Structure 1
């Protein structure tokens, strides 16, 4: 009995300690990876919302609409941001006609800054500390139910027109389902996607 009692109270072997430590390592790795995922959204990011705009649904855009979120963090860099969206692609194919619309969130104007490649179709302004819903309507439609969208964007400080992003930033939506949008909304998963805005002829 006394022998068994002594065995029960003996300190754990070195092998047991090492084995226990090995099981603890993955938990530390997983916990450390979470902030990287959260930080990957960036100041302009896809929400996952995308819809097809059939030709019989409207007489303006016959393509797609997809949704992004624009975030201008409060403080410097930029205080008032001007964003230019370029190189819009559907399934890797460049889109020639598209129009960027600020759907919700406070907007602004910046008459003092006209960045390179900026047009009335691809540029929007975001006040300091603001979050906006951004819709991009395209006039190009791929023959596919599962579609991926990608684009480049570059941000500028309104007051100086200095580039915040030294070079354009590329982002991609990954493969998305694109349910059709109709006059009543259809099965489109983007609230407010239809009716589309009046088409600016320069964006066709």
Structure 2
């Protein structure tokens, strides 16, 4: 058995110390910033415009008018879109009569497609790539300072009358202020809502 007497132990090299430290110190994960996702506009969305219709606003609808934006993205599904609006509600109370009006934007007709539940009061056509301003006039009014509107809609492809939305889509405006509209506009915040476009008494319901 031999012993190393008188030999001074050598100190670890600086390189060895650094190498060992790399194992001893936990790694800090640096999270990359998540990419910003732009909010996409839905096919049918509330704009936030809503007005109360007093007796002198028009001769047929004495409720409200609210505004939506309709957008048909370029390309298929649908190429020419047919939208049916149903189950219109004011503060969750069903409306018995209403009329959907395309106020501005490109328009179209689709004589080959009459979806279930479609009438001249609740259906409109949107060309490929078009954006439209949509007014919905109601015959019901709530005694409330702020009002919320909700509805269901379902889109179809004109050429085949195939449903693009497998089931109706529900959307809501949230609570909105509803300033009064008069024949001259009043304080209504929807440009063009009054005087009202051509409205049909058949759409006003009972």
* Same fold, judged at TM 0.5 (above): yes
Q: Between Structure 1 and Structure 2, which shows a larger proportion of helix residues?
A: 1
Calculate the aligned-residue CA RMSD, in Å.
2.2
1:145 Cα deviation (Å)? 1.9
Partner of 1:119: 119
1:98 equivalent to 2:98? Answer: yes
Q: How does 1:49-128 map to 2 (within 5 A)?
A: 49-128=49-128
Give me the whole-angstrom Cα distance separating, in 2, the residues matched to 1:199 and 1:179: 21
Q: C-alpha separation between the residues in 2 aligned to 1:94 and 1:63? A: 13
Gaps of 5+ in 2: 1-24
Query: How does the TM-score come out when normalised to structure 2?
Result: 0.82
Poorly superposed stretches of 4+, deviation over 3 Å? none
2:130 — aligned with what? 130
Paired residues of 1:61 and 1:196 also in contact (CA < 8 A): no
- Which residues of 2 match residues 1-80 of structure 1 at below 5 A? 28=33, 32=36, 34-35=37-38, 38-39=39-40, 41-80=41-80
Residues 84 and 122 in structure 1, CA contact (< 8 A), matched pair in contact too:
yes
Post-superposition shift, 1:184?
A: 1.1
Per-residue CA shift, 1:140-167, capped at 9, x if unaligned?
Answer: 0111120000000000000000000000
Number of residue pairs matched by the alignment: 183
Q: Output the CA distance in 1 between the equivalents of 2:202 and 2:119.
A: 9
Q: CA deviation at 1:134?
A: 0.3
| Shift of residue 61, structure 1, vs aligned partner | 1.4
Tell me if structure 1 keeps the 8 A contact 2:56–2:183.
Answer: no
Give the direction of change, closer, same or farther, for the CA distance of 1:167–1:80 in structure 2 (3 Å limit): same
Deviation at 1:200, TM superposition (A): 1.4
Higher radius of gyration, 1 or 2: 2
TM-score by length of structure 1 reads 0.83
Shift of 1:202: 2.0
Deviation at 1:28, TM superposition (A): 3.6
Partner of 1:187: 187
Give unpaired runs (5+ residues) of structure 1.
1-13
